Structure 1
Amino acid sequence: CYAWDSGVDEWRLLDSAKCQASEQTAVARPAFKVNLFGSIGAGISFVPNTIDFGELFENWQGKLSESRAVLSVVIVLWVLFIPLAVLLRRMDLRDAQKFQFLPLKDEREQKGFVYKIEVFNGSKRGYEVPVGVFISVKGLNASELLRTLDDGERRNFESGGVDNFLMTTKAHLGDIRSICLTFDKTESGAGRWYVSRLIVTDCTNDNKYIFVIEDWLSPGIDSAVNCASSIDLKFSKNLVRNHLSRRMQDDHIWFSMLRRKVDTNFSRLQRLGVCWSLLFMTMIANAMWYEVADSSSEAFRIGP
């Protein structure tokens, strides 16, 4: 029995002289003998089943024969885990290559000022992979014109993906004011390219310049975009959709194992290990509370 001590704001354990369970106590109707004044509340807290590992290993063959269904589930889970782990490990290696920042294939300067370029492609219906993409970057101090957005090694600009490049310039561009994107055609020759946003990072001072596009680009047409201000970022028309898409691809532990198009340190294989741990912990928790009490009973109740 416990009593609430308002002086210290905590529950105090009472001795048997002040409170003890009556012989008429039942699961549905707890009864107590109390030598106290005031409002009295009653309830029952059900203690989970304990797992005696010593007894378990003493007669483990007999325990296994009694729990064939549980053993079968555990074996099936581990049989599924091994091929899934191999598959996700291969996907992790492919992701590591895809999210790597590689230099542009038209790189002319071996030494100079390095800029990171991140292109976030949309995933709308009618999306086509562009061919022959060029970018021009205009800064406060200098400009870089018609650089080829291609590393020559990977397949870039897939729907919903992120492409990372390194651009080296002879002169420092200063604060970047605008960019201009253009491309020759799409793979089918009749589609358009949807770009969500583009981020340029100055590796000299780690300044980031974000360009919100959120529009379809047509082949052969120059698309100039100014650097987004803080207000533009807050009121972007697809801000909520982009946020939810990233949450599903990164934060959702199950969904992100198969559909992961953002760079993160939490690999697919690690996510699989967490999911399997949750499954086994859920099984153990169910075993601890199995047949402890009727499902309609309450765990604890306070009040007169």
Structure 2
Amino acid sequence: FETSCVYFQEDETHLWQSDGCRVGPMSNITHIHCRCDHLTKFAGFVPPNPLNIREAFSANILENPTGLILVLAVFTSYVMGVIWARKADRKDIAKVGQMMFSYTHTHCQYLITVYTGFRGNAGTTAEITLVLYGSQYESPPLTLRDDSRCLFEQGSVDSFLVSTEEPLGVLTHMRVWHNNAGFSPSWYLSQIVVANRATKVTTYFLSNRWFAIDEGDGKIDRIIPTSVEKDITKFHNLFLAKSSREMNDDHLWYSVAGRPARSPFTRVQRLSCCLTLLYSTMLTNIMFFGRGDDFDPPEPLRFAGLKINPPISL
């Protein structure tokens, strides 16, 4: 085991140097005592094991094949995962789109965006219909369908451009229901966002509820009021939206399976990042493997009859 004290040389080299610094006598298992004869940015560190790539390739791998088997198993799993991820990415491309209903009243257009939740079996095979209610008029029943792609799948975001004969005014609420058809009609609706193309006003309808006869309260027909800023900024709603978004889009490992269809970061790219991270971690472990073996292990912790051996901290 070896430690050293170094300082950062702030010139064109930008290197860590050891001139004028040495390890002090008060160094122990948890602390490094550095003594320097000049003021600068200094630090103490444990040098890693030297890696000789040429020697590693020339060694007899059959004497200890465990490492090679592990590396090959991880890479084989990655190749199989890439095949699956590529197919899933192609399906995601088919999910993204905007359905334009036939219309003649271009001055009364509404862009309706439906967010299906990320819960298990949140997607539906049923046909979704809704009615918008405004301060002046109400829309006819709008059946949301698109024969060119699958709609309302788990975690999907589906957009529809519709029009009405007259402006509806300020939206107050909407009615949403489905026909409970297909082999999996249960549906978990996260929210619906309606944007008025003429006035540029966006209205939110928060749901976060099941439309299913076998989930929740068993209803498949609901009235959803417009959500004011107080509703949108509630902790419960913010927590659901943020946790769902970050787990399915920002979490590197989980997002390989839960990636939103509209995300530009593909599943293949995410899986490749996971492989790089895993191999980098394995390489780092090799560099520092056994650097604390010269120390006597600390006393084990005993609690409720259990014996816990804490790791050695360098």
Is this a same-fold pair by TM over 0.5?
yes
1:137 to partner: Cα distance: 2.8
Q: Percent identity?
A: 19
TM-score, normalised with respect to structure 1: 0.69
- 1:42-79 CA distances to partner (integer Å, 9 max, x unpaired)? x97321123345x44xx733365566322222222222
Equivalent residues, number: 275
- 1:69-116 CA distances to partner (integer Å, 9 max, x unpaired)? 222222222222112101101101111211322334xx2349666543
RMSD (Å) for aligned C-alpha atoms: 4.5
**1:250 is the counterpart of 2:249:** yes
Structure 1 counterpart of 2:159: 165
Q: 1:96 to 1:109 in 2, by over 3 A?
A: farther
1:192 to partner: Cα distance: 6.4
Q: For 1:188-267, what aligned pairs fall within 5 Å after superposition?
A: 193-203=187-197, 207-217=201-211, 218-219=219-220, 221=221, 223-235=222-234, 237-261=236-260, 263-267=262-266
1:285 to partner: Cα distance: 0.3
Structure 2 counterpart of 1:283: 282
Structure 1 counterpart of 2:146: 151
Q: 1:61 to 1:139 in 2, by over 3 A?
A: same
Q: 1:112 to 1:95 in 2, by over 3 A?
A: farther
Structure 2 counterpart of 1:302: none
Structure 2 counterpart of 1:134: 129
Q: Is the 8 A contact 2:124 2:184 kept in 1?
A: no
* Amino acid corresponding to residue 232 of structure 1 in structure 2: D
Q: Is the 8 A contact 2:112 2:162 kept in 1?
A: no
Gapped regions of structure 2 (runs ≥ 5): 8-16, 38-42, 212-218, 298-311
**1:61 is the counterpart of 2:54:** no
Q: Secondary structure at the match of 2:179?
A: strand
Structure 2 counterpart of 1:272: 271
Whichever of the two has the greater Rg, that structure is 1
Q: Is the 8 A contact 2:32 2:44 kept in 1?
A: no
Supply the distance in 1 between the matched residues of 2:65 and 2:259 (Cα, whole angstroms). 37
Structure 2 counterpart of 1:177: 171
Q: 1:94 to 1:176 in 2, by over 3 A?
A: farther
Q: Secondary structure at the match of 1:166?
A: strand
* Amino acid corresponding to residue 265 of structure 2 in structure 1: F
* Amino acid corresponding to residue 192 of structure 2 in structure 1: L
Of the candidates 93, 96, 103, which is equivalent to residue 96 of structure 1? 93
Q: Is the 8 A contact 1:120 1:161 kept in 2?
A: yes
Supply the distance in 1 between the matched residues of 2:77 and 2:149 (Cα, whole angstroms). 31
TM-score, normalised with respect to structure 2: 0.67
Structure 1 counterpart of 2:48: 48
- 1:192-243 CA distances to partner (integer Å, 9 max, x unpaired)? 6543311123456764321112345545x5x443321111111275542343
Comparing 190-199 with 270-279, greater Cα deviation is found at 190-199
Supply the distance in 2 between the matched residues of 1:240 and 1:193 (Cα, whole angstroms). 21
Q: 1:176 to 1:78 in 2, by over 3 A?
A: farther
Supply the distance in 2 between the matched residues of 1:49 and 1:265 (Cα, whole angstroms). 39
Supply the distance in 2 between the matched residues of 1:275 and 1:206 (Cα, whole angstroms). 41
1:148 to partner: Cα distance: 1.6
Q: Is the 8 A contact 2:194 2:203 kept in 1?
A: yes
Supply the distance in 2 between the matched residues of 1:165 and 1:216 (Cα, whole angstroms). 20
Q: Pick 1 or 2: higher relative contact order, CA cutoff 8 A, min separation 6.
A: 1
Gapped regions of structure 1 (runs ≥ 5): 5-11, 37-42, 300-304
1:246 to partner: Cα distance: 2.7
Structure 1 counterpart of 2:79: 82
1:259 to partner: Cα distance: 2.9
